[in-house]
């Protein structure tokens, strides 16, 4: 993998374009530094790092266009993550985007007492100057997958790309498809689960359906294959709540096979699952730089495929 070019640091001189006339200084300056957010640019102004025609101005001051701006760009803040030489399965990479195939069992970023052994640790080893707008322990990470879920995961290699992708996730324009093997034979060929989710009273690591106070959560699904005593379903989550698919299927009395939190551990077929049988199979979105629609697919892992073979005839 190639690291993106380091963002400019040190003293930089720019000229505000004529079309900036009438704009606030912070907005006009943010347009000159698209790799940084307006919030970051505003922090430069507040810290006295921006001089306009020899004068320090407030961010709210409107500019005429044509002014010479001298900016003392600070170096990127270092992450506290310890770099780890962990292999990454790369599905796609360009200057602003990295698409990975995350294996089951790998935690995406530190949390709950885990400081190392995560995907984030591997990212800071392989790539320099990843954006940390989502937090210094989440370099470039736009969204996440549960530790035991495998599949396609996006990483932004610049602040501009991170913001563009985050806006798409917030607007729910990112199309995601998951494969899951659930207990029992699901009635019907397709459907929708529309149930709000919130923290469970059983503990902060668990989620539950919360009719009162829960956040809206919607999952569409269709049957891919009917197995002997289980069902392979393709899921299309419209929201991205923690454990959404796992809790939604548990609420239907069809928990995902191999789920240590929401599953039926003593049910037939659990012994066939070496892991949670949930896989982020495909994702489609607008490229953060070109705007063109792109799609990426993570192949079904060997252990998932082997469990499917066993469950097809596991009567």
Domains and CATH numbers, the chain: 10-73 (3.10.290.10), 90-312 (3.30.2350.10)
Euclidean distance between CA atoms 98 and 93, whole angstroms: 5
Q: Mark the ranges of the chain whose per-residue pLDDT is less than 50.
A: 2-7
Cα separation, 200 vs 302, whole angstroms: 33
With the C-alpha atoms ordered 244, 249, 251, 252, is the resulting torsion angle positive or negative?
positive
Strand partners, 13: 70
Check residue 7 and give its pLDDT. 45
pLDDT at residue number 76 = 63
Task: Please give the pLDDT value at position 235.
Answer: 98
How many angstroms separate the CA atoms of 68 and 293, rounded?
A: 38
Residues with catalytic annotation?
Answer: 146
d(CA 154, CA 165): 9
Contact criterion met (CB below 8 Å) for 188 and 202: no
Query: What are the angstrom distances between the C-alpha of 95 and each of 4, 120, 122, 213?
Result: 6, 19, 18, 41
Rounding to the nearest 10 degrees, give the CA dihedral for residues 299, 305, 308, 312: 110
How much is the pLDDT for 30? Answer: 85
pLDDT value of residue 6:
43
How distant, in Å, are the alpha carbons of 76, 148, 234 from that of 273?
44, 12, 18
The per-residue pLDDT for 112 is 61
pLDDT of residue 58: 93
Residue 293: helix, strand or coil by DSSP?
A: strand
Q: What is the pLDDT of residue 278?
A: 98
Q: pLDDT value at position 313?
A: 87
How many secondary structure helices (H) and strands (E) does the chain include? Answer: 6, 14
pLDDT at 113: 62
Is residue 272 within 8 A of residue 310, CB to CB? The reply is yes
What CA–CA distance (Å, rounded) separates 202 from 250? 15
């Amino acid at each position: 993998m190639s690291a993106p070019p380091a963002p400019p640091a040190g003293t930089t001189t720019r000229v505000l374009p004529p079309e900036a006339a009438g704009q606030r200084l912070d907005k006009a300056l943010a347009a000159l530094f698209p790799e940084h957010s307006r919030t970051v640019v505003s922090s430069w102004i507040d810290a006295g790092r921006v001089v306009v025609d020899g004068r320090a101005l407030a961010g709210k001051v409107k500019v005429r266009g044509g002014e010479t701006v001298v900016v003392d760009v600070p170096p990127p803040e270092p992450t506290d993550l310890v770099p780890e030489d962990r292999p990454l399965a790369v599905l796609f990479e360009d200057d602003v985007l990295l698409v990975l195939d995350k294996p089951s069992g790998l935690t995406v970023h530190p949390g709950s007492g885990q400081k190392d052994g995560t995907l984030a640790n591997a990212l800071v080893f392989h790539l320099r100057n990843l954006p940390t707008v989502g937090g210094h322990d989440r370099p470039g990470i736009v969204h996440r997958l549960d530790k035991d879920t495998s599949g396609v995961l996006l990483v932004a290699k610049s602040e501009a790309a991170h913001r563009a992708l985050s806006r798409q996730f917030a607007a729910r324009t990112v199309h995601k498809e998951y494969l899951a093997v659930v207990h029992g034979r699901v009635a019907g060929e397709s459907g929708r689960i529309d149930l709000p989710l919130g923290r469970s009273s059983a503990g902060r690591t668990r989620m539950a359906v919360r009719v009162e106070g829960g956040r809206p959560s919607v999952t569409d699904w269709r049957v891919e294959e009917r197995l002997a005593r289980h069902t392979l379903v393709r899921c299309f989550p419209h929201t991205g709540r923690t454990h959404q698919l796992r809790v939604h299927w548990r609420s239907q009395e069809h928990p995902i096979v191999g789920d240590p939190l929401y599953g039926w551990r003593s049910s037939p077929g659990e012994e066939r699952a070496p892991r949670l049988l949930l896989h982020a199979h495909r994702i489609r979105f607008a490229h953060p730089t070109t705007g063109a629609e792109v799609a990426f697919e993570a192949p079904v892992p060997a252990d998932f495929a082997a469990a499917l073979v066993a469950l097809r005839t596991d009567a």
